Structure 1
Amino acid sequence: MTGKVGLLGLAFLTLFIFGSFYIQLTGGPSRTQTARLDPFGDISVHLETQPDPPKTGGIPLILHLTDQSGKRVEVDKVQYDYEYQDRGVRTLKGERVDDGTFKAIATLTDVGEWQVHVTLVKGTQQTQITFILRVMANI
């Protein structure tokens, strides 16, 4: 009888762990948003992190920019401003990796929700998008 109870407890524990992991992966805020930037009109802005979900430490923030037809969009400048609670804003310049792709390494020091404000500049036009990153422990 004790073996069956232990096995049942182990099964529930396994289900709980996998359920929690699934919720963390699927319950995060959207990483793709639409912004208006002339002369392109509406563009799709996708923020990728490595790893995903992000963990504490130096994390690449990779931005992919495409127009409504899926063609990569070239902008003049990308700036990342990121913050955790009221601890002050940190600013990074996005480095061009490829057409429509920019990257910067953010130092995410704490577990929790970080705000990442991305500013895109094309000529005299600019737009800003805000993403929420749920940062996990680096274990």
Structure 2
Amino acid sequence: MTGKVALLGLAFLTLFIFGNFYFTLTGGPSRTQTARLDPYGEISIHLETEPDPPKTGGIPLMLHITDPSGKSIAVDEVQYEYAFQDREPRTLKGESKGVGAFTAVAALNDVGEWQVRVTLVKGTQQTQVKFTLRVGANI
């Protein structure tokens, strides 16, 4: 009986490690989205995480906002909303780190795909983009 439990534990551990490497090797969904925000027109929003790919725990979500020429653009406010599966979304306000750069630390405590919605505000205008983050185990 003990041998069966040990074998089952070994199989689970192997699957867990392989799954984590699979997430790392296959990359993830796009981290750059485009949207329209007046007065700039079409803009690019790039989301970075540290580490990349993200692991479970408190993960910095770093946002870079640029115009078509790659120049950073100013927005008044950034709000992050993130959720895992059918759970209630959590909301964070982005902290400005300079023109077109914002950050917030999200508690991504479960392995799997998290949905992140980012709202950008400039004056009375606003736009939203969505990202999917594949979060791996923090081993």
Give the shorter-chain TM-score range.
0.7 to 0.9
Which residue number corresponds to residue 10 of structure 1?
none
Moved over 2 A (4+): 20-27
1:40-93: CA deviation from partner (whole Å, max 9, x where unpaired): 000010000000000000000000000001110100000000000111010000
Percent same amino acid among aligned pairs?
A: 73
Give the number of aligned pairs: 122
Task: Kindly report the root-mean-square deviation, in angstroms, between the aligned alpha carbons of the 2 structures.
Answer: 1.7
**How far did 1:26 drift?**
4.1
**How far did 1:21 drift?**
3.7
Q: TM-score, normalised by structure 1?
A: 0.83
Q: What aligned pairs does 1:1-139 form with structure 2 within 5 A after superposition?
A: 21=21, 24-139=24-139
Q: Does structure 1 retain, via aligned residues, the 8 Å contact 2:27–2:53?
A: no
* Structure 2 unaligned regions, length at least 5: 1-16
Q: TM-score, normalised by structure 2?
A: 0.83
* Structure 1 unaligned regions, length at least 5: 1-16
Give the 3 Å change call, closer, same or farther, for CA 22–135 of structure 1 in structure 2. Answer: closer
In the alignment, the residues of structure 1 paired with residue 110 and residue 36 of structure 2 have an alpha-carbon distance, to the nearest angstrom, of 32
Which structure has the greater CA radius of gyration?
1
1:111-138: CA deviation from partner (whole Å, max 9, x where unpaired): 0000000000000000000000000000
